[in-house]
Structures are given as C-alpha cells and as structure tokens.
C-alpha cells in the first residue's frame, strides 16, 4: 500500500529518522498522547541499544552485533516503547516473541514505569524444526536458545512467557483478568491467525485500550476488524534510519460504546 497523501515523499529528501519523528507526532495527535515524543527521546541515551548488543555479542547466528542507533530497531519498537511509557498499562499482551527484541523495548518501558506486566505468547521456531510460522517468515532461534533470549535478566521480572499457539495458550490466561490495556499482534501473519488473534485481543481490551498489528499489510485481517467494529485507526510505516514509503503497522483504539 502506498503512503497516504500528505506524507513526506522521497522527493523531499526525508530520511527514516525524520519520518520516525513525523509519525510519532501523528500518533501522539491520534491517540491524544502528547508525551510520546518526549518518551521516545529517552531511547536516544543508547542504554537499551548497548544492553541488546551485550546480549547478542556471543551468539554467532545473530549476525548484527553493533547498531548505529535506536532507529535501527524501526519505528515500530520506538513507538511501542513510548506508548507504554505514556499509557502506563497494567497488562500488555504480545503475540510472537522470537528473539525478544520487541519484548525488550516493552519491558524497558515497564521497568521505567515501575509498574505493569507483559504477557507474551510464542510458538517457538527452533533451528532443528524450522519456522513455526506458515506465512513465509524463515527466521529461527539460535541453536540452544529459547524465545526471548535477548531480554536482559534484570528486565524479566515483569514478564510472563507462554509457549504454544497464541490462540490456545492466551485465552485461559486472559479470562482470569478483568481486561487488558494494550494488545500487540506480531506472530504468524496468515489471515486466519491474524484475525483470530486480533479478535481475541479486542475482546479483552478495556474501553480506550489500544490494539497494534505489525505487518498489517500481509492480509486483510486488520482492516476487516476495524471495519467490523468501526473503530478509530491509523497505519504507519515501520521505517528504520531509511525512508520507507509503505504502511504496515496498524493501530486501533477500542472506543467507548
């Protein structure tokens, strides 16, 4: 999908970093969270980047050992971090872990908030068995590693990991909770799995809760859901340091009835 009219274009010589800030401003306006930009600025300290570099340093299968800045981790993770800092969720639910890069950003934000719980579900992709996903993704875990291996031990106290298919392991846990504040889909991106996960997350979101769908362009599931519930939504580019003219990150709000 091409970028909506009014977005920065390649002809304007906009790089990915400028695009990141532009999108954070758009997200702040859409969600009514003016502090998003300030919270995203915390990541410029570089502390989290150095912690991730330390986690991957001795793992040969993880090829990238050094990162030029936090922007290498894409707008997606910067936005999620800033969102958690601003919303201060009691419960954040994530489908899909793999190495745990996104989990690391979420847990860093919860750690700084000194509150909240992250519940993550993942069907592991071990190198011996191959990718668990059926969406064409070929990424697998390093040999001998479990989902979320990148997450520093010091950040794991606010984390509950569930191993298995999200639509099977999450419902028994979520039914024990009054509601959740944020749901993030980033597991298998087939239409069926995406829609089932998004429906599950939507069911348990509180009013005003936020649903996030990475790779929303890989099926019609996100658009089917927001069309069905007629809820406010926006889509963003998951750019890194380089400009990206496609939109593939969906964000929807469960408005009050």
Break the chain into its structural domains and give their ranges. Answer: 10-253
Average pLDDT, integer, range 26-30: 97
For residue 20 the two structure tokens come to: 């990141």
For residue 173 the two structure tokens come to: 């846990």
pLDDT band at 153 (very low <50, low <70, confident <90, very high): very high
Global pTM value: 0.93
DSSP-based three-state secondary structure for 231: coil
- pLDDT tens-digit series, residues 109-121: 999 999 999 999 9
- pLDDT tens-digit series, residues 199-246: 999 999 999 999 999 999 999 999 999 999 999 999 999 999 999 989
CB 225 within 8 A of CB 199: yes
Q: Which residues of 104-128 are buried (b: 16+ CB within 10 A; e: fewer)?
A: bbbbbbbbeeeebbbbbbbbbbbee
Please say if the pLDDT value at position 20 is more than 90.
yes
Report the relative pairing of strands 205-214 and 249-253 from DSSP bridges.
Answer: antiparallel
Question: In terms of CATH, what superfamily is 10-253?
Answer: Vaccinia Virus protein VP39 (3.40.50.150)
Q: What whole-number distance in Å separates Cα of residue 87 and Cα of residue 247?
A: 24
């Amino acid at each position: 999908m091409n970028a909506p009219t009014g977005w920065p274009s390649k002809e304007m010589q906009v790089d990915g970093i400028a695009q990141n800030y532009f999108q954070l401003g758009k997200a702040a306006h859409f969600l009514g969270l003016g502090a998003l930009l300030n919270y995203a600025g915390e990541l410029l300290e570089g502390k989290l980047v150095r912690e991730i570099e330390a986690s991957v340093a001795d793992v040969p299968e993880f090829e990238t050992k050094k990162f030029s800045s936090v922007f290498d981790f894409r707008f997606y993770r910067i936005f999620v971090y800033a969102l958690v800092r601003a919303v201060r969720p009691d419960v954040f639910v994530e489908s899909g872990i793999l190495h745990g890069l996104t989990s690391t950003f979420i847990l860093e934000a919860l750690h700084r908030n000194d509150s909240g719980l992250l519940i993550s579900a993942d069907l592991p992709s071990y190198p011996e068995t191959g990718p668990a996903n059926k969406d064409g993704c070929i990424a697998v875990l390093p040999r001998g590693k479990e989902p979320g291996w990148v997450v520093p031990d010091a950040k794991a106290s606010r984390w509950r990991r569930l191993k298995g298919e999200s639509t099977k392991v999450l419902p028994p846990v979520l039914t024990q909770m009054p509601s959740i504040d944020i749901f993030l889909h980033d597991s298998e991106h087939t239409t069926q799995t995406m829609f089932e996960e998004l429906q599950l997350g939507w069911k348990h979101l509180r009013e005003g809760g936020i649903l996030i769908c990475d790779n929303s362009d890989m099926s019609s599931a996100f658009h089917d859901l927001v069309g069905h519930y007629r809820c406010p939504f926006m889509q963003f580019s998951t750019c890194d340091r380089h400009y990206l003219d496609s939109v593939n990150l969906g964000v929807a709000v469960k408005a009050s009835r």
